[in-house]
């Protein structure tokens, strides 16, 4: 399936506001851009991945670590300013904050995400928060490998996007007329994550979509393409490390496998 990312006319946005235009330009990964990325995961989920060859995309409004993930900033509920003020001054449109809030709820219920982190340098914070306190696994790959690994089995009803998440203060308004930008924006409190996000949005043009959808969507993945390097967590016990290595061997995965060298307390 063609996973070309839909195009937003960022130049048009920049004509109204260089600040918001720069924000939008930051989020979208160009087609030719290949970025090193890492994904931290509990060991039991990694073993399940090897068995099922499926990645799990969680619904945007069901993120336990960040319940406001995908929400418009609180400032969007206040009187328009910046690009929003210019937009409503230029067009005969009435701003309705309650409608914006309801619209955002619907978008979050139609959207699914899979989160990676920029770079291959190990992070103690990522091991702690996403790698089961160092007893998990870190998958190292790239944005190109990730995209290519899911292209053959990508669900027909999901629109594929890949973004670098921008981090903004809640006081910074996002453009009302591009509410989907909130689907990749995160609060500055999470800026250490340097997240690269797969965003999958249900294509409502292909038929009615029940709301909310299932808590997750499973997408087939070619692990021989995706897995560039496997880092076994610094706190993984020897018997569990052996189990992971045996599972990789049984699955025919030829990716490099290393043990983490970070000091984890």
pLDDT at residue 110 tops 50: yes
Instruction: Give the per-residue pLDDT at 190.
Output: 87
The whole-angstrom separation of Cα 253 and Cα 225 is 10
pLDDT at residue 9 tops 80: no
Averaging pLDDT over each range in 28-42, 62-76, 244-258, which range is the top one?
244-258
Measured in whole angstroms, the distance separating CA 170 from the mean position of its chain's CA atoms is 20
Long-range pairs of 184-191 with CB within 8 A, sequence gap ≥ 24: 184/27, 185/27, 185/73, 186/66, 186/69, 187/66, 187/68, 190/66, 191/167
Q: Stretch 113-136: mean pLDDT, rounded?
A: 94
Choice among 35-39, 60-64, 111-115, 209-213 with the minimum mean pLDDT: 209-213
Q: Stretch 92-108: mean pLDDT, rounded?
A: 83
Q: What angle (nearest 5°) sits at the alpha carbon of residue 187, between those of residues 126 and 65?
A: 45
The whole-angstrom separation of Cα 223 and Cα 149 is 7
Alpha helices in 41-177 (DSSP H): 43-52, 83-90, 97-109, 124-130, 143-151
pLDDT at residue 92 tops 80: no
Instruction: Give the per-residue pLDDT at 207.
Output: 72
pLDDT at residue 246 tops 80: yes
Instruction: Give the per-residue pLDDT at 206.
Output: 78
What pTM was computed for the model?
A: 0.86
End-to-end Cα distance, the chain: 44
Alpha helices in 92-202 (DSSP H): 97-109, 124-130, 143-151
- Per-residue pLDDT band for 68 (boundaries 50, 70, 90) equals confident
pLDDT at residue 124 tops 60: yes
- Dump pLDDT digits (tens) for 181-239: 888 888 888 888 899 999 999 988 877 677 888 899 999 999 999 999 999 999 999 99
Alpha helices in 10-142 (DSSP H): 10-16, 18-27, 43-52, 83-90, 97-109, 124-130
């Amino acid at each position: 399936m063609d996973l070309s990312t839909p195009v937003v006319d960022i130049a048009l946005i920049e004509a109204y506001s260089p600040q918001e235009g720069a924000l939008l330009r930051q989020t979208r990964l160009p087609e030719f851009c290949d970025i090193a990325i890492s994904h931290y995961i509990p060991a039991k989920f990694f073993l399940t991945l090897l068995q099922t060859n499926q990645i799990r995309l969680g619904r945007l409004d069901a993120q336990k670590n960040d319940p406001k993930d995908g929400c418009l900033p609180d400032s969007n509920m206040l009187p328009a300013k910046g690009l929003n003020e210019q937009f409503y001054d230029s067009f005969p449109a009435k701003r309705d904050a309650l409608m914006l809030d309801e619209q955002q709820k619907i978008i979050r219920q139609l959207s699914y995400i899979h989160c990676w982190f920029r770079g291959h340098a190990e992070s103690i914070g990522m091991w702690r928060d996403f790698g089961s306190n160092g007893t998990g696994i870190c998958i190292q790959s790239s944005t190109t490998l990730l995209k290519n690994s899911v292209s053959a089995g990508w669900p027909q009803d999901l629109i594929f996007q890949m973004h670098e998440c921008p981090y903004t203060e809640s006081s910074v308004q996002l453009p009302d007329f591009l509410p989907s930008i909130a689907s990749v924006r995160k609060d500055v409190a999470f800026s250490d994550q340097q997240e690269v996000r797969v965003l999958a949005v249900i294509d409502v043009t292909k038929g009615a979509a029940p709301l909310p959808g299932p808590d997750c969507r499973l997408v087939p993945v070619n692990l021989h393409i995706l897995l560039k390097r496997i880092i076994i967590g610094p706190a993984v016990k020897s018997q569990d490390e052996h189990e992971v290595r045996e599972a990789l061997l049984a699955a025919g995965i030829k990716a490099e496998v290393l043990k983490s060298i970070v000091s984890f307390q």
